[in-house]
Structure 1
Amino acid sequence: MRVFVTGASGWIGSAVTHELIAHDHKVVGLARSDSSAAALAAAGATVHRGDLEDPDSLAVAAATADAVVHLAFKHDFDDFAAAGRTERAALLAMLGALEGTGRPFLFASGLASGQGGRLTEEQASPFEGPDSMRGGGENLALSYAERGVRPVAIRFAPTVHGVGDGGFTARLAAIAVERGAAGYVGEGTTSWAAVHRSDAARLVRLALDRAPAGSRMHAVGEEAIASRDIAAALGAHLGLPVVSVAPEAAAAHFGWIGHFFGSEASASNQITRETLGWAPTGPTLFEDIAAGVYPGR
């Protein structure tokens, strides 16, 4: 299968690219820079130069592929609304190119729901419209199940961990070193889901073959890890005390990540496991922390 992958050289996308190629798929990877293009070529992928700001180019690549895996996103926390509008335009371009073909369109989504409790695959996203979270992309894309596309939302855990991770957990480790203590917000009872990068990549490959049109799959290995336990694991590895940060001081202590770390982002993976025949086999988040994956610098 010829698969067009956006974000193909990124943290999750590069693992997905290797996973697909290892299972005899041909990957066409979107590359914005020369370094990304070189990395994709070295991995055995065909390079498609462009970026999310060029929807016409995205449409051309999608139209000539047997499937699309859309993992790129502009993580601009200074103007998240604009990032959402860019995402929506990119989705419309690629979905329009696939309309009526029955081809798979897998796309990255998140676990933020604002509904509280542990999110299940059956719960729809509450975000609608271009000015909502991620441009309301999940509901927009899934609506194309009625327009001759096989859209599948891949809801990634907030921490996709492993050697080389520069995401949320790496930032928390860096803040702990900067502050001289590993912190959590309030009582630390809110929870995050987590998944190892290798497990996430395998899930994407299985979803490409098996996930039904209009479904939501949870890339979640560990369903709920309390934030205070994450802080405790970081503190133990870094040799730092563990402290509670009052909710009203979270922004000052943690910066932009404070809101996310103090929010509930736990999720079930039961339906995903049953639908895809998938089970996580990679290291847990605590195993990666203990192994020194997050040195805090």
Structure 2
Amino acid sequence: MRIFVTGATGWVGSVVVDELLGAGHQVLGLSRSEEKAVRLAAKGAEVLRCTLDDLDRLAEAAGNADAVIHLAFNHDFSKYAENSEQDRRAIEAMGEALLGTDKPILVTTGLASLAPGRVATEEDMPPLSNPNYPRKSEAAASALAERGVRVGAVRLATTVHGIGDLALMSFLAKLAREKGVSAYIGDGANRWPAVHVSDAGRLYRLALEARAPARAYHACAEEGVAFRAIAEAIGRALDLPVESRPREHFSWLASFVGADAPVSSARTRELTGWKPTGPTLLADLAQPGYFGQ
């Protein structure tokens, strides 16, 4: 297949591109920067230089592909609502180009707020009509599905870990260094789902190749890791004490740190044959150099 991949140079997207090329697919990857475009081309992918605001070019690329994987998202949390709207518009534009075809599109969202306090499954749906729900990816996907587009959502675990991680684990380590303590909220028993970046990247490929009729796929290798254990792993790696602290200690990270969001991926594995093989989160955090040391 010829597959259009947005976010092709990102943390997960770069692994997705490697997976697709390694399986013999052709890839057209979106890149905003010339430097990353050069690296993408060196892998053997075609490159589209544009942004998520270039809706006509996104639509054209989607229409000329056999499938679309949409991973790009601006993770500037100070403009999260604005960036979620940008994401929605991009999904709508690419989906419009797929109307009347059997070409699939996979969009990307997260698992953190899907079903707080209980084990979430692929059957759970986010509150699509709630204007306060942060991500609009699945709302846009649902609207496309109603119009006959073959669309599914890959829901990424709260932490997609691996050497080179610049997301939540990196933010937590930075905060621990600044505060001099690796902390958790309450007793730290709340659970985070986790997946290694290599496993997440492989799931996108398998979902496309299986042509499975699913509206949601859970990129979650571990159902739930106690956050206190995560804080302890960070403390050991950085040689810092580990303590319970109030929510105010974490600033904007508090909603993530305090979340209890265990997740099942049983249905995803059944449909796609996905078998995570990467290291567990705690084993990964114990690797020398995970936090840049």
Question: Could you say which TM-score interval applies, normalised by the shorter chain?
Answer: over 0.9
Report if aligned partners of 2:115, 2:261 keep a CA contact under 8 Å in 1: no
Moved more, 110-119 or 159-168: 110-119
Render the CA deviation track for 1:118-140: whole Å, top value 9, x for unaligned: 211011111336764223x2032
2:114: which partner in 1?
113
2:250: which partner in 1?
254
> Residues 115 and 182 from structure 1, CA distance in 2 versus in 1: closer, same or farther, beyond 3 angstroms?
closer
Matches within 5 A, 1:26-41: 26-41=26-41
Structure 1, unmatched stretches of 5+, are none
Moved more, 91-100 or 124-133: 124-133
2:80: which partner in 1?
80
2:273: which partner in 1?
277
Q: How many residues align?
A: 292
Moved more, 123-132 or 22-31: 123-132
**Structure-2 separation of matches of 1:145 and 1:213:** 12
Output the amino acid matched with 1:87: D
SS at 2:244 equivalent? strand
SS at 1:255 equivalent? helix
Identity among equivalent pairs (%):
48
Match 1:268 to one of 264, 267, 271: 264
Render the CA deviation track for 1:160-216: whole Å, top value 9, x for unaligned: 111111010111112112211110112212111100011111111000122534521
**Structure-2 separation of matches of 1:35 and 1:255:** 34
Report if aligned partners of 1:62, 1:98 keep a CA contact under 8 Å in 2: yes
**Structure-1 separation of matches of 2:37 and 2:45:** 9
How far is 1:114 from its partner?
A: 5.2
How far is 1:159 from its partner?
A: 0.8
**Structure-2 separation of matches of 1:277 and 1:125:** 25
Output the amino acid matched with 2:265: N
Output the amino acid matched with 1:21: L
Output the amino acid matched with 2:259: S
Structure 2, unmatched stretches of 5+, are none
Output the amino acid matched with 2:18: H
**Structure-2 separation of matches of 1:270 and 1:66:** 28
> Residues 61 and 130 from structure 1, CA distance in 2 versus in 1: closer, same or farther, beyond 3 angstroms?
farther
**Structure-2 separation of matches of 1:144 and 1:130:** 18
**Structure-1 separation of matches of 2:237 and 2:211:** 39
2:21: which partner in 1?
21
1:295: which partner in 2?
291
Q: Is 2:145 the counterpart of 1:145? A: yes
Quote the RMSD (CA, aligned, Å): 1.6
**Structure-2 separation of matches of 1:195 and 1:211:** 22
Output the amino acid matched with 2:285: I
Output the amino acid matched with 1:92: E
Moved more, 12-21 or 73-82: 73-82
Matches within 5 A, 1:56-205: 56-111=56-111, 112-113=113-114, 115-128=116-129, 132-135=133-136, 137-205=137-205
Matches within 5 A, 1:220-231: 220-231=220-231
Output the amino acid matched with 2:114: S
Report if aligned partners of 1:155, 1:218 keep a CA contact under 8 Å in 2: yes
Moved more, 137-146 or 257-266: 137-146
Render the CA deviation track for 1:239-296: whole Å, top value 9, x for unaligned: 211010113x2xxx22322221111232111111111111110111111111124326
Report if aligned partners of 1:161, 1:196 keep a CA contact under 8 Å in 2: yes
How far is 1:15 from its partner?
A: 0.4
**Structure-1 separation of matches of 2:131 and 2:6:** 20
**Structure-2 separation of matches of 1:211 and 1:44:** 25
SS at 1:68 equivalent? strand
> Residues 77 and 195 from structure 1, CA distance in 2 versus in 1: closer, same or farther, beyond 3 angstroms?
same
